Chain A
């Protein structure tokens, strides 16, 4: 589903990703772990199509299409979803109105009929239950005055509504207490599907207790340097990243 080959990216003239290769097949959940500054957030932004990231090499194929050729909104309509680490506040714009716009532009792209107000509300209410989100919150202005946990929950609500082919969760666990973490993870797990791929980016193993990955990759200095099963996450939690760095040094 998502095939990244030898991806090289500069930000502000500095090499951040230095030949990253990763393959996430449909139906699988992969986790990326790595220390600060290893390029985790850069990877999620580059995949989502944010401007200001200079791709100097490599390719990314998404569901058979050249992802890097597309603008951010085209990628979204093709089914690429990014759950933001810091969802932005958009005052004055209602959560519902925004989601209806987003959903309908995606549905239109898929050749589906656009939902009217009634159809939208029906779907909206059912998805609210999935992520156990307060109705009142969902009707408020987009992320405005939301707590950290509420924002993250809102991201998962959007994901549930938009039903992307592929979802990137960028440090979705940061700033969440244990109850919120559970709720968000339940929402994500409910969206696991044989046709959907997911990339979970995290600092901590904790999240992976709740969202159990099929594969775990270690991102270090802009490259995937080690991959393994879910037990790799536990090992990282216990031993940190230095031993991998040492291994790398040895290999070089």
Chain B
């Protein structure tokens, strides 16, 4: 785009592929395997369903919160009541009945100081929890094979285990459940909570601010490079419950952290709501790398059940030369509504968004990013890879905004869609706004189909149809996978293969 002070909005162009004669090789989707679909049977502490002011007070009381936090929640709740659910996204779903949802559900088991002190009942619950995470491949023992990764395990509304806290504490890194941070580091939480995503931001962020339960809190002090990967593993278990976690990451001047989140849920026939908020803050020369492997239950092949994933994620590059990089692999959820964004405030700060999103069967995803360039010479890169199969529906929605002060700012956007079969849909909706004549915006988009020539070529060399598709899809996603930490890149690749099982007849 030539440097000019004009605002450009590219038209929405739904791309529906035509049926070709030799298309028999890519058949309709059948049921897919979902390994994480089991239920954990433990005693829980659960709030009665529905959303009222009482509910907000109940959650706050459960967590013994200070008055200021209760006030914050109530402000958010009252604001929430004035809002209507947004309908601009390209998503079709029945209205969510908030009065039917449980907003708090936690294992009764709490604060295990010594396993030997547990009653037999508690011990059974403890074993169940540990088993759950073992089944999911999440290392809760510090001596496990992924020992370079610290884990915070969030089960429904609370964090059940956080590993390596002590070791991280030695270098000044705080990694703990948000509720614990409220208790032990109230000044930090007070200063930063809601400072990137205010409760007034949108419908779901207001809801989250009112009823958020747990999530992770990360603080990296000045000049510290976090010695290990931090990760949070979110698990929804209870029926008819929602998960409303909140994550807050603060990277002080010159620090670095790489953080990863993973998510799964049991297979249930009803839809479950997940409305999270993630806030990242990077000071001068700080760098935050945030990776997501989202594998919430997607629903069955007819679109029954699955998680409604409405998430607000935003990072503020407050400092000069700071950097925030989002990488997401979104294979789960019935509905995904998610736009991890960067506010590039500090001069020379950098925002990145790398995304692979898959919609199979009846899954719908409306996802993308916002890059708001405020500071001079800020740079952003967007690489979005959407894969749509079966009756899947996929929308890339992205906004690049160059404000007046963003002298010499640059954005590069690459937005590719891959369609499989003749019933999948992909849309691209980029919004570009440039208010500074020295800013540069580049946008490339493509839509392709796995074509029969490619499939036949690979099969002629001995690959099965399924292996051939996987190879093509992995090639398509390569630019994003290589942004993930090594062990998770392998996981993501496997996840994608499982999610595409049955894609080829």
Contact = CB atoms under 8 A, between A and B. Distances in A.
Given A72-B456, A97-B471, A51 B22 contact: yes
Contact of A51 (B25, B461, B468): B25
Q: Contact residue range for chain B? A: 20 to 34
A37 interface: no
Contacts of B167: none
| B21, B453, B475, B478 — most chain A CB neighbours (10 Å) | B475
B463 interface: yes
A88 interface: yes
B124 interface: no
B472 A105 contact: no
Nearest to A72: B459
Contact of B463 (A49, A82, A91, A101): A101
A76 B467 contact: no
A90 interface: yes
| A49, A82, A93, A109 — most chain B CB neighbours (10 Å) | A93
Nearest to B23: A51
Given A92-B472, A92-B476, A73 B457 contact: no
B460 A82 contact: yes
A90 B471 CA distance: 10
A80 B472 CA distance: 22
A49 B468 CA distance: 16
Q: Which applies to chain B's interface (DSSP): helix, strand, loop or mixed?
A: helix
A90 B462 contact: no
Contacts of B452: 51
A50 B457 CA distance: 9
Contacts of B454: 88, 90
B462 A52 contact: no
A102 interface: yes
Contacts of A52: 21-22
Interface in B453-491: 453-454, 456-465, 467-468, 471-472, 474-478
A97 to B, nearest CB: 7
B456 A50 contact: yes
Contact of A76 (B461, B474, B475): B461
Q: Contact residue range for chain A? A: 20 to 34
B461 A102 contact: yes
Nearest to A103: B462
A158 B463 CA distance: 13
| B457, B461, B463, B471 — most chain A CB neighbours (10 Å) | B461
Interface in A66-103: 71-73, 75-77, 81-82, 84, 87-88, 90-94, 97-99, 101-103
A29 interface: no
B472 A51 contact: no
Nearest to A106: B462
Nearest to A94: B475
Contacts of B471: 90, 93, 97-98, 101
A48 interface: yes
Given A51-B22, A93-B471, A105 B463 contact: yes
A84 to B, nearest CB: 7
Interface in A102-157: 102-103, 105-106, 109, 141
B4 to A, nearest CB: 32
B238 to A, nearest CB: 41
Contacts of B61: none
B24 interface: yes
Contacts of B478: 92
B461 A88 contact: no
Contact of B462 (A50, A93, A109): A109
A162 interface: yes
B358 to A, nearest CB: 16
Nearest to B24: A51
A207 B459 CA distance: 27
A172 B22 CA distance: 25
A251 to B, nearest CB: 37
A211 to B, nearest CB: 21
A93 B472 contact: yes
Contact of A102 (B463, B465, B474): B463
A217 to B, nearest CB: 23
A81 B462 CA distance: 9
B22 A73 contact: no
A51 B476 CA distance: 25
Contacts of A87: 457
B462 A162 contact: yes
Contacts of A82: 460
Interface string B12-24: 0000000001101
A5 B478 CA distance: 46
Nearest to A73: B459
Interface in B420-474: 451-454, 456-465, 467-468, 471-472, 474
Contacts of A92: 472, 474-478
A42 B395 CA distance: 40
Contacts of B22: 51-52
B383 to A, nearest CB: 12
Given A51-B25, A92-B475, A101-B471, A73 B453 contact: no
A90 B458 CA distance: 9
Contacts of A101: 463, 467, 471
B472 A73 contact: no
A90 B457 contact: yes
Interface in B15-64: 21-22, 24-25
B462 A84 contact: no
A51 B456 contact: yes
Contacts of A81: 460
21 contacts: A50-B456, A51-B452, A51-B456, A52-B22, A73-B460, A76-B461, A82-B460, A84-B457, A88-B451, A90-B454, A90-B458, A90-B475, A92-B472, A92-B474, A92-B475, A92-B476, A93-B474, A99-B461, A105-B463, A106-B462, A141-B475
Given A81-B460, A101-B467, A158-B461, 18 more contacts: A51-B22, A51-B452, A51-B456, A52-B21, A72-B456, A73-B468, A76-B460, A82-B460, A88-B454, A91-B475, A93-B471, A94-B475, A101-B471, A102-B461, A102-B463, A105-B464, A141-B475, A162-B462
Interface of B: 21-22, 24-25, 451-454, 456-465, 467-468, 471-472, 474-478
Closest 4 CB pairs of A and B: A92-B475, A93-B475, A102-B461, A76-B462
